[in-house]
Amino acid sequence: MPDRFTSGMQFSALAKDGVRREVKLEEFWPHKDFLVMKFQGIDSISDAERLIGSELQIPAVERAQLASGWNYVSDLEGCTVFDGALEVGKVADVEFGAGEAPLLVVKSGASSYEIPFAEAYLKRVDLKGKRIDMLLPDGLLEVNGPLTPEEKAQQTKQ
């Protein structure tokens, strides 16, 4: 991973509140299982804390070429997910940290599904065609589906 970065690289730091800030990589070094990055003009811990949770972005033309089977999150967003012949919906977001596989947040009308982007379920990714073909386990969409009125009533009683 460190070979993807060079001193002087420009990034956009997109904060969770949507505020974007341009930053320039001054230096970087490995620390345990992480990569520490020092940005120009960010000279104190309080300055750096303002970047916590920000997504570092680079222009698409500067992205590193990924190995076969790997995809950029920005390429997955907007893809239509299919479970066999069933159109599930479009990828609205990708979430990390809930398990080994990232979760595709798939929206279809008022429904929203969290689908593991796991190799075991993946048949094909066609980024040019904006299509992700999967073979999901029986019941996965029902477990992730919106609550029925009866289920909502049951939850409010508890």
Domain ranges of the chain: 2-61, 73-144
Q: Is the pTM of the predicted complex or chain greater than 0.75?
A: no
Which two tokens mark 27?
């230096």
pLDDT at 154 over 80: no
Q: How far is CA 37 from the centre of its chain?
A: 21
- Which of 37-41, 67-71, 120-124, 147-151 shows the lowest mean pLDDT across its residues? 147-151
33 pLDDT above the threshold of 90: no
**Strands of the chain, DSSP E:** 10-14, 20-31, 34-39, 55-57, 80-83, 86-95, 103-108, 111-116, 122-126, 131-134
Q: What mean pLDDT is reported for the chain?
A: 86
Quote the pLDDT of residue 82.
96
Residue 18 has pLDDT above 90, yes or no: no
Distance CA 80, CA 89 (A): 6
pLDDT of residue 85: 93
Q: What mean pLDDT do residues 63-72 have?
A: 81
Q: Average pLDDT of 113-133? A: 93
CATH 2.30.30.240 fits 73-144, yes or no: yes
155: pLDDT strictly greater than 60? no
